[in-house]
């Protein structure tokens, strides 16, 4: 359960999208299991921007994204991300966006780089559930 009482979900960071493009079997198995359980993975818009280059070479990524929810970033979230980036002293706002959203929703995160994300969460006084792919 997250703070709003809803069932916790999952957030994909750029590493998860890259793993999908590379046809990482572990990522695809995890994704299939999440969908079978009724989860709708969240992809923050900055993550999509970091990974998306277009073209036929990203067919696998497009397939992964189809059932996902792309979360837009509004001004309030941008401010919250900026504050957390400063508190964490972390220059990558995409990473901070992933953590801010996941903590707000009570999500776990699928990533290739759990250490940075955990440090950002610690700066927010929180613990982040992370699945490495």
CATH number, span 10-132: 3.40.50.1010
Residue 7's pLDDT is: 53
- Please report which helix (H) or strand (E) contains residue 109, including its range: strand 108-111
Mean pLDDT of 5-18: 85
Residue 25's pLDDT is: 97
Is the pLDDT at 2 greater than 70? The verdict is: no
Please give the share of the chain, as a percent, with pLDDT higher than 70. 94
Report CA dihedral (123, 129, 132, 133) to the nearest 10 degrees: -120
Total residues belonging to the chain: 133
Integer angstrom CA distances of residue 117 from 1, 35, 43, 69, 99? 20, 24, 15, 21, 6
DSSP labels, 8-58: P-EEE-HHHHHHHHTT-HHHHHHHHHHHHTT---EEEHHHHHHH---SGGG
Residue 56's pLDDT is: 84
Is the pLDDT at 8 greater than 80? The verdict is: no
Q: Sketch the domain layout of the chain as residue ranges.
A: 10-132
pLDDT tens per residue, range 72-122: 999 999 999 999 999 999 999 999 999 999 999 999 999 999 999 999 999
* Mean confidence (pLDDT) of the chain: 94
Exposure string of 56-67, with b = 16+ CB inside 10 Å and e = fewer, is: eebebbeebbee
Mean pLDDT of 61-81: 98
Backbone angles phi, psi at 73, to 5 degrees: -110, 120
Quickly state the pLDDT bin for 64 (edges 50, 70, 90). very high
Integer angstrom CA distances of residue 49 from 33, 40, 42, 46, 102? 25, 19, 14, 5, 18
pTM of the full predicted structure?
0.92
Residue 3's pLDDT is: 44
């Amino acid at each position: 359960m997250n703070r709003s009482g809803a069932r916790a979900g999952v957030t994909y960071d750029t590493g998860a999208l890259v793993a999908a493009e590379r046809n990482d079997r572990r990522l695809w198995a995890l994704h299939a299991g999440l969908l079978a359980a009724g989860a709708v993975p969240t992809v923050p818009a900055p993550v999509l921007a970091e990974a998306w280059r277009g073209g036929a070479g990203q067919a696998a990524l497009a397939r992964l994204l189809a059932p996902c929810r792309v979360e837009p970033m509004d001004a309030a979230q941008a401010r919250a991300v900026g504050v957390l980036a400063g508190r964490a002293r972390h220059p990558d706002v995409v990473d901070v966006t992933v953590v801010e959203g996941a903590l707000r929703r009570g999500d776990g995160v699928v990533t290739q780089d759990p250490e940075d994300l955990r440090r950002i969460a610690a700066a927010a006084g929180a613990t982040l559930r992370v699945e490495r792919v």
